[in-house]
């Protein structure tokens, strides 16, 4: 079992959608990632919160396989985000983003975490992602996320990060923007040429496309067909948590393990969207994960005649 060092944001989110409003709930990329990954392995969370976070960390992560020694509390307010979804849950409007204590954040990796075999770099400034990589010693696997903001404003630093990661997890529009290729196959290959051995492209309700190492081809998975999608907030980070968590639990990371990891990521994400914010993940059980993984197999498998 390989613990994961996860660095990213912990936040207070306010989410409005046609079904209701969730006010000042705990969110942030590292939060979703850590809770999802903790179903598979131990997670060492490095992030920053303000004094207003109080004991929310213990409430949320207590009893889970998430170590909080790297969760810094500093004077000031926790990162806050407010967003609103219309009936088309694929599009959301950000009402505000207040970085607060995150503005001055520099990840300080506790000594005991520096030899973590698996590192996940959440969607933070590429310079901070590089600072994390400079503090760790020879991890077996480094996975990273990024976003359009960094592609547009910190392109050179991002390219440095890409040279040092094994897996880039990115959504389809970001992949197109980063590669200047409209076609996703070309986009994935262009990004792979920038450094990552594996490129995972998240396509929301259309599933996931991943480059494969052994033959230069692809692995593709549909999203679980869901009758109700309640709140997509954090679905991408939850996918990353299930994906990296599942890989961490493998003795060997080969194409078969990567394909399974895509399905575990998709499984966790399919639960996350069923309720506001983290709510569904907080009641999720190992049995439910196993059952839905089996649903994915029935959803996609066929035999050659």
- Contact residues toward its own copies (CB under 8 A) are 87-88, 182-186, 189, 203, 206-207, 209, 215, 217-222, 225-229, 250, 256-257, 259-260, 262-263, 293-295, 297-305
To its own copies, the closest distance from the beta carbon of 31 in angstroms equals 27
Q: Which is nearer to its own copies, 108 or 190 (CB)?
A: 190
Residue 40: CA atoms inside 13 Å, Cβ hemisphere, count?
A: 30
H helices, E strands: number in the chain: 11, 13
List, in order, residues 6 or more apart from 252 with CB less than 8 Å away.
none
Q: Which is nearer to its own copies, 131 or 172 (CB)?
A: 172
Distance CA 8, CA 48 (A): 9
To its own copies, the closest distance from the beta carbon of 222 in angstroms equals 4
Q: 25: how many CB neighbours lie within 10 A of its CB?
A: 17
CB 248 within 8 A of CB 36: no
Q: Which is nearer to its own copies, 77 or 205 (CB)?
A: 205
Distance CA 74, CA 151 (A): 29
To its own copies, the closest distance from the beta carbon of 185 in angstroms equals 5
To its own copies, the closest distance from the beta carbon of 171 in angstroms equals 15
- Between the alpha carbon of residue 162 and those of residues 7, 151, 280, the distances in Å are 16, 11, 33
Q: Which is nearer to its own copies, 68 or 89 (CB)?
A: 89
Alpha helices in 26-93 (DSSP H): 29-37, 56-61
CB 169 within 8 A of CB 240: yes
CB 65 within 8 A of CB 3: no
To its own copies, the closest distance from the beta carbon of 19 in angstroms equals 14
CB 3 within 8 A of CB 118: yes
CB 22 within 8 A of CB 277: yes
Q: Which is nearer to its own copies, 80 or 292 (CB)?
A: 292
To its own copies, the closest distance from the beta carbon of 132 in angstroms equals 29
Q: Which is nearer to its own copies, 55 or 228 (CB)?
A: 228
To its own copies, the closest distance from the beta carbon of 229 in angstroms equals 8
Q: Which is nearer to its own copies, 138 or 304 (CB)?
A: 304
Q: Which is nearer to its own copies, 32 or 296 (CB)?
A: 296
Phi, psi angles (nearest 5°) of residue 132? -65, -50
Distance CA 279, CA 16 (A): 15
To its own copies, the closest distance from the beta carbon of 16 in angstroms equals 19
């Amino acid at each position: 079992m390989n613990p994961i060092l996860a660095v990213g944001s912990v936040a207070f989110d306010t989410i409005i959608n046609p079904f209701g409003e969730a006010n000042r709930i705990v969110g942030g990329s590292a939060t979703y990632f850590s809770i999802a990954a903790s179903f598979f392995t131990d997670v060492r969370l490095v992030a920053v919160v303000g004094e207003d976070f109080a004991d929310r960390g213990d409430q949320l992560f207590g009893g889970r396989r998430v170590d909080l020694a790297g969760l810094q509390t500093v004077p000031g307010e926790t990162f806050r985000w407010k967003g609103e979804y219309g009936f088309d849950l694929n599009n959301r409007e950000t009402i505000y983003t207040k970085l607060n204590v995150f503005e001055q954040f520099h990840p300080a990796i506790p000594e005991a975490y520096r030899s973590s075999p698996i590192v996940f770099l959440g969607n933070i400034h590429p310079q901070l992602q590089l600072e994390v990589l400079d503090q760790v010693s020879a991890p077996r696997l480094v996975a990273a996320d990024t976003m359009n903001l960094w592609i547009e404003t910190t392109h050179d630093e991002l390219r440095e990060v890409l040279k040092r990661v094994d897996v880039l997890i990115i959504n389809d529009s970001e992949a197109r923007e980063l590669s200047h290729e409209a076609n996703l196959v070309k986009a994935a290959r262009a990004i792979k040429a920038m450094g990552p051995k594996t490129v995972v492209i998240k396509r929301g309700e259309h599933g996931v496309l991943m480059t494969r190492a052994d033959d230069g081809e692809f692995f593709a998975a549909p999203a679980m067909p869901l009758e109700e999608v309640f709140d997509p907030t954090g679905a991408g980070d939850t996918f990353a948590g299930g994906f990296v968590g599942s890989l961490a639990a493998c003795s060997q990371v080969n194409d078969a393990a990567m394909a399974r990891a895509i399905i575990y990521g998709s499984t966790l994400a399919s639960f996350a969207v069923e309720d506001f914010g983290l709510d569904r993940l907080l009641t999720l059980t190992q049995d439910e994960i196993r059952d839905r993984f089996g649903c994915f197999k029935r959803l996609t498998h066929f035999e050659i005649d």
